[in-house]
Structure 1
Amino acid sequence: MNNNDTQKKLRNIIEGTIIEGETDNCTAIRNLLCASFSTSTTVKRDFDSKSIIKKEQAEFLIQYSVENNLWVVNLPKENKFLAKGGEARIYFNSHGKSVIKLNDAIYYATWLEYFNSLVIHNLLFPNTSYTFIGFTGMENSLCAIVEQLFVTSDALVDLSDVRALLRYNGFENTRRNDYYNKELGLILEDIHDENVIVNSNTLFFIDTVFYTAFQDK
């Protein structure tokens, strides 16, 4: 999962540094927010104090998406609806091989932190990487639209296998389904058996929530 190049990029994310040489849209939006707003580490107790920043970022992203043809009005049809999670509505794509997720970033204190999480996921779990499509509005909230490979399960997930894989890559289980990488200062949350799928003896992480924060020990 990790190599020297990946670790360098992860440190750039954590330190709020622009990631050079990447052309994917998730990184492009992340870099745009990094260049336009101050960066900081994330802890959940900062949610209320950062609400103004998140609102400013949302207004910025709406204007940017309208000016750069990233505002999406043709949303997936309801007959393609698959599920609704805590932060996303999920639809099948027209060909059924991927899913479209409309995410309101409710789990994140700012939109920068949401895109940080996407980029971190793409670095660590490229077999289920996210592709950013654009933005839309839903129920008076800004939503990011991302696409991800649709993976079917052919076996039950053994969470001990998940823990072993994450431990190998520096993530220690802190409580229940939450993990922490002390070296990098990365929190990974909610890794339960619905967010990891097994297919052909391979683990696919389909929903991850990363926070870039050094915890007090």
Structure 2
Amino acid sequence: MSVHEEIESSDGGERYIPQRVPSAAEQKNDQESLRAALDVIAGVHRASKAAQGPAPQNRAQKVALDKALRVGEEKLLRRWAISESKMLPAEPFTDAWQAQGGEGGAEHQVYVQLGVYYKRNNLNYYGTWLSYLHNLLLHNWLFPETGYTFLGLMDVDGFLHSVVSQKALRGIRGATPEEVAAYMLPFDFVPLQNSDYINANFGIIVSDLHHRNVLVRDDGELLVFDPVIYLQ
């Protein structure tokens, strides 16, 4: 199936239509909280004023649309999280994270407890919450061994973050580019550049599959952590 839909807008151009993940990825999702959060923001992308115009034709238009949509997404997500007790307190996470040295990168703050990673994501790599939650769905579909559990949301200094958990699995070394390419081939992903892979049939790009994010276990199997996955 295609993740793209084309509908003509009133001015003759292609109307903006929110992208959807492959149906197999949606069907694989058994997390009620993740499903509910997606339902909350889907309405923003279908019905908000920002979504009524034509599809973006360049990067600047895409950034502007994402910025407008994200305002509506966060307003409704906050309301949902509070009503469903999914707005988590920030202080316990911050304390545990700092106690373990403040580990993390450009998007995640991470700590580990009882064999589980807890990760707080600031969405630096995603224009909208829809694209971020799609990333979770696609990761869990493609790489279930290292799948995420969506725990809820968190306000950190006025900014909305996502909180997920993930098994703290270990590898003995980083994978080589050749090992990663061989691992991705059965999924119909082919290399692009800079550790990125594409499945043209589904329009899915998986980025950052370098040796720090793809580890080799002692039995030779590969473990994929923290790739950036998005739809074309």
TM > 0.5: yes
**Partner of 1:14 in structure 2?**
21
Q: Does 1:155 align with 2:162?
A: no
Q: Does 1:202 align with 2:216?
A: no
Relative distance call for 1:169 and 1:43 in structure 2 (3 A) is farther
**Partner of 1:50 in structure 2?**
66
Q: Is the 8 A contact 2:143 2:224 kept in 1?
A: yes
Q: Does 1:70 align with 2:77?
A: no
How far off is 1:186 after superposition? 0.6
Q: Does 1:113 align with 2:121?
A: no
1:24-173 equivalences in 2 (<5 Å): 24=31, 25-38=33-46, 45=59, 46-73=62-89, 75-76=92-93, 77=96, 78-81=98-101, 83-93=103-113, 95=114, 97-173=115-191
Q: Which runs of 5+ in 2 are unaligned?
A: 6-18
Q: Percent identity?
A: 22
Q: Is the 8 A contact 1:82 1:92 kept in 2?
A: no
CA distance in 2, matches of 1:182, 1:116: 17
How far off is 1:138 after superposition? 1.4
Normalised TM-score (structure 1): 0.82
Structure with more helix by fraction: 2
CA distance in 2, matches of 1:32, 1:132: 15
SS of 2:222's equivalent in the other structure is: strand
CA distance in 2, matches of 1:210, 1:127: 16
Query: Aligned pair count?
Result: 204
Question: Which residue identity does 1:212 align to in structure 2?
Answer: L
Bigger-Rg structure (1/2)? 2
CA distance in 1, matches of 2:21, 2:185: 20
Report 1 or 2 for greater relative contact order, CA contacts < 8 Å, sequence distance ≥ 6: 1
CA distance in 2, matches of 1:176, 1:191: 8
How far off is 1:88 after superposition? 1.0
Relative distance call for 1:49 and 1:17 in structure 2 (3 A) is farther
